[in-house]
Amino acid sequence: MTGRLPLMLGVAALALAGCRADPAAPAAAPSDKASPKAAPVGAPDIARCDAQHVRHEDDPLPDNPVTVPKAFRQIAKASALEMALLTASGETVCENNVGVHAIDAMAWLVPDRLLGWEWDAYEAFGYTIFDRARKGTVIETGVKPVFSPGGGRFASVEFSEFGALSGFAVWEVRADGLARIGGETSRSEGEGADFVIIEPEVFTDRIGDWSISSWTGETCVNISFEGQQLSADAAIVGPSTFHAAESARWQVAPGPCAE
């Protein structure tokens, strides 16, 4: 994935981008099998990607490739340095794969269009989506995202010391690719037991797990937190509910989406 090496040193923040557009067709149920409709032109050119790789002194040996599930090898090939991904038009997109030692749960999120997978690296993890439309788009969502009822949008939340997102974000599936239309990236300080999120404020003083619980229509996301909320008086343990609405510029706020 692009910029994978810096993840080993500290996960980079994602920029916000994109505007509103008409949603795409509803997403189908994820599948770990290659679509019978898939008929890629040619094959992903991993040799070219490796040849173009900008090497670093800490790069692993190139003869230690990462395993891609057999069902997807017509679309994705990986080495220890790069991943080669095939667009629907037969072009190869190269993504930095340095540091990744495992790819898991590769599956179609939208048949023949959006391919997703989990990856693990030394002190880092994430979830990648490859959009095969047009020139090809690769994004990091931290964990597997949740699609809106109409399938035209998806959201993800992940706040941790080693995650690839470390924030909340919403994307839109457009005809020419994926566009991030909102969200918040965290700012943290400290490491290990001293790691704390200091921005945005709603995520501070909380230790636990965040997840997308559901969508309300196409314009609001319900977010769940389970863990501890630390205060000067006590530690409150249990689940909490938050939401992020398009009408409020996707900023995370307490309580569920309004019906």
Q: For residue 123, what pLDDT is reported? A: 77
Distances (CA, A) of 98 to 13, 51, 102, 128, 198: 18, 14, 11, 14, 30
pLDDT in tens, 22-46: 444 444 445 555 544 443 457 999 9
212 pLDDT higher than 70 = yes
pLDDT in tens, 32-86: 555 444 434 579 999 999 999 887 776 766 667 789 999 999 999 999 889 999 9
Q: In the predicted model, what is the mean pLDDT of residues 117-135?
A: 91
239 pLDDT higher than 90 = no
In our burial notation (b when 16+ CB lie closer than 10 A, e otherwise), range 204-236 reads: ebbeeebebbebbeeebbbbbbebebeeeeeee
Q: Is the CA virtual torsion 188, 99, 34, 38 positive or negative?
A: positive
The pTM is what?
A: 0.75
Cβ atoms < 10 Å from Cβ of 22: 8
Cβ atoms < 10 Å from Cβ of 48: 13
Q: Are 238 and 247 in contact (CB under 8 A)?
A: no
Q: For residue 254, what pLDDT is reported? A: 87
Comparison of pLDDT for 122 and 232, the residue scoring more: 122
Q: Are 85 and 40 in contact (CB under 8 A)?
A: no
104 pLDDT higher than 80 = yes
DSSP helix/strand/coil, 67: coil
Q: For residue 196, what pLDDT is reported? A: 53
Q: Kindly report the average pLDDT of the chain as a whole number.
A: 78
The DSSP result for 155-220, as a single string, is EEEE--SSBS--EEEEEEEETTEEEEEEEEE-EEE--GGG-EEEESGGGTTEEEEEEEEEEETTTE
Q: For residue 159, what pLDDT is reported? A: 73
Comparison of pLDDT for 189 and 28, the residue scoring more: 189
125 pLDDT higher than 80 = yes
Q: For residue 99, what pLDDT is reported? A: 84
Q: In the predicted model, what is the mean pLDDT of residues 204-214?
A: 79
169 pLDDT higher than 50 = yes
